[in-house]
Amino acid sequence: MDNTKTKLTPKQINYQNLAESIINKFNLRGIEGYYCANKKDANEKAKHFLAPDCTISWGGSATLSEIGLINDLKKSDDYILYDRAVAITPEEKREMFGKIVTVDYYFMSSNAITLDGELVNIDGNGNRVACLCSGPANVIIIAGMNKIVKNVKEGISRTRNIAAPPNSVRLGLNTPCASAGRCCDCMTADCICDQIVITRMSRVRGRIKVILVGEELGY
C-alpha cells in the first residue's frame, strides 16, 4: 500500500487509513486484504492474481462491471470463463453451476464489510453466497469504501435498505422495495433477500481476498 499522501485529498487519506485498519482485521480472520485508490488500479490488481488457462466465474455485481473487469475478462483469450448468463433452461443452469462451483477464481463484491473485517452478504438464489462459502479455490471480492459499515446489524440494514431496492430495479423485479425505495420485509416470489450470510473467517487462510477501492462502487 502506497503511504505517500501528499497529493491525496482528505477523503482519500481517510479511505486509505480506514482500509489499513480493516485489512489488519482481515488478517486476523484469514482473509487477504488489499487497497486500491481507484477502479483502474483495482481492475489491474484483480487480474494480477490470474494465471493463463485458469477457470473463472463471477456473481452478479454492479461493481465488477463498473471497474471494467467483466468486459476485460470476456475480451481475453487467456482464461476459461463460465458465465451463468448463457445458461437458459433449468438443466443448463444446474450444469453451469456445477462448473462454476469448482473454478479457480470466483469474483464478486460484498454487500457490506464491517469495521471489524466481517463480510455481510444477502442473496436471492444463493449461488453467490454458496461460492463464497465453499467450492471455488479462490474468491476475490472487490468493494468500494461506500460498503463499509460499523457492524453486522448495520450491514444487514444497509444491504436491505440501500442495496436491495436499486438492485431490484436493475433486475426488473416485482418487489415492494423496487417501488418504495426501502426494505418492506417482503416474502414475494421475486425477493432477493432470501439468504443472509455473515463471513467471520476464511477457513482456508487466504482463500478469500478482498480488494477495497477508494471510490463509491456498486449499490
Report the sign of the C-alpha dihedral through residues 69, 75, 79, 84, in that order: positive
Strand order in the sheet with 138-144: 32-36, 208-213, 138-144, 105-108, 55-58, 80-81
User: What pLDDT does residue 29 have?
Assistant: 98
The tens digit of pLDDT for each residue in 150-201 reads 999 999 999 999 999 999 999 999 999 999 999 999 999 999 999 999 999 9
Across the range 76-86, mean pLDDT stands at: 96
User: What pLDDT does residue 65 have?
Assistant: 96
User: What pLDDT does residue 6 have?
Assistant: 60
pLDDT over threshold 70, residue 1 = no
| Among the four given CATH numbers 1.10.287, 3.40.50, 2.130.10, 3.10.150, the one describing domain 10-148+195-213 | 3.40.50
User: What pLDDT does residue 178 have?
Assistant: 94
User: What pLDDT does residue 141 have?
Assistant: 98
Q: Where are the domains of the chain?
A: 10-148+195-213
Cα gap 124→204, rounded to integer Å: 26
Confidence of residue 50 (pLDDT cuts 50, 70, 90): very high
Mean pLDDT of the chain: 95
Confidence of residue 8 (pLDDT cuts 50, 70, 90): confident
Alpha helix stretches (DSSP H) within the chain: 10-28, 39-48, 62-66, 69-75, 90-100, 127-133, 152-158, 164-170, 176-180
